[in-house]
Amino acid sequence: MLEIKNINVIFNKDTVNEKKALCDLSLTLNDGDFATVIGSNGAGKSTMLNAVAGNIEVESGRIYNNGKDITYMKEHKRARFIGRLYQDPLKGTAPHMTIEENMGLAYSRGKKIRFGFGVRKSDREYFKSVCAKLGIGLEHRLKNEVGGLSGGQRQALTLLMATMETPELLLLDEHTAALDPKTSKKIMEITNRIVTENHITTLMITHNIRDALDFGNKTIVMNSGKILTVLEGDMRKNMTIADVMKLYSGTDAVLSDKMILG
């Protein structure tokens, strides 16, 4: 369970560029919740994920993971139980290492350090089987360098690596936004399968309102550093894109065509 309690994030404090990016924001996710996050540019979506990941420090408020206060825990410590994916497929994998070497690194995370290099045969069989489940042929390319993969293949691999050891939290920041529509759809399907099969508590930012309503069990609607509303249950099921747009009437939010048209 993730509990965010009244967090405030201020950038460039006490300067002319001071920016309150998160204002007294609170949110609770239950175990296995798959929450999508939407909001116009600058709403504070990435900042919220960064605060949870420990990438930025909060001004005040608390963050608890499974009851444990992680507000001031260092980012590298949180990385042991938090999986992350960004928009950029180049992040999260080492280009000059092979697929299996990258997976080996992810697999050994949180385990006792193993001396010596190379991938064990038993591990290789396991990597092959998890890659095969993606259905995009990565299992035949385990000895290929990751730098030669397409953006979609690389994002799929990063997702696999982030979830190979099931994380307590998964944070996805527009992880399909840089991909072409067909590849983006495939990565969303894979994401959905991995998250639901493993009941991973997940926050997924998306620029696409349709995806935000179709995937997961909750939608967090953000604006100006605050949560406008959390959609769930029957109300969410029956929501249309137009209904979501109405939530923004009376706010200063500018919804992009991308959000509305997908």
Ligand X SMILES: Nc1ncnc2c1ncn2[C@@H]1O[C@H](COP(=O)(O)OP(=O)(O)O)[C@@H](O)[C@H]1O
Binding residues for Mg ion, rule: CB under 5 A, are 45-46
Q: How far is the CB of 32 from ligand X (least distance, A)?
A: 25
15 binds, among ligand X, Mg ion, none (CB under 5 to 8 A by kind): none
How is residue 15 written in tokens?
A: 């300067």
Nearest residue (CB) to Mg ion, 34 versus 86: 86
- Which member of 2, 34, 36, 47 binds ligand X (CB under 6 A)? 47
The conformation of residue 46, written as its DSSP 8-state character, comes to H
Nearest residue (CB) to Mg ion, 46 versus 217: 46
CA distance 115 to 24: 46
- Which member of 21, 161, 179, 255 binds ligand X (CB under 6 A)? 21
Report if residue 45 touches ligand X, rule: CB under 6 A.
yes
- Count CB atoms within 10 A of the CB of residue 98: 18
User: 82-85 and 68-69 as β-strands: parallel, antiparallel, unpaired?
Assistant: unpaired
213 binds, among ligand X, Mg ion, none (CB under 5 to 8 A by kind): none
CA distance 53 to 57: 10
As a whole number of angstroms, the longest Cα–Cα distance in the chain is 61
Nearest residue (CB) to ligand X, 49 versus 213: 49
Task: Build a one-symbol-per-residue string for 213-252: x at contacts with ligand X by CB under 6 A, - elsewhere.
Answer: ----------------------------------------
Size of the site for ligand X (CB under 6 A): 12
Q: Which residue has the tokens 């997961």?
A: 216
Nearest residue (CB) to ligand X, 43 versus 99: 43
Show the CA angle centred on residue 207, arms to residues 80 and 203, nearest 5°: 25
Residue 57 has, within 13 A of its CA and on its CB side, a CA count of 6
Q: How far is the CB of 229 from ligand X (least distance, A)?
A: 16
Q: How far apart are the first and last CA of the chain?
A: 30
- Contact residues toward ligand X (CB under 6 A) are 11-12, 19, 21, 39, 41-47
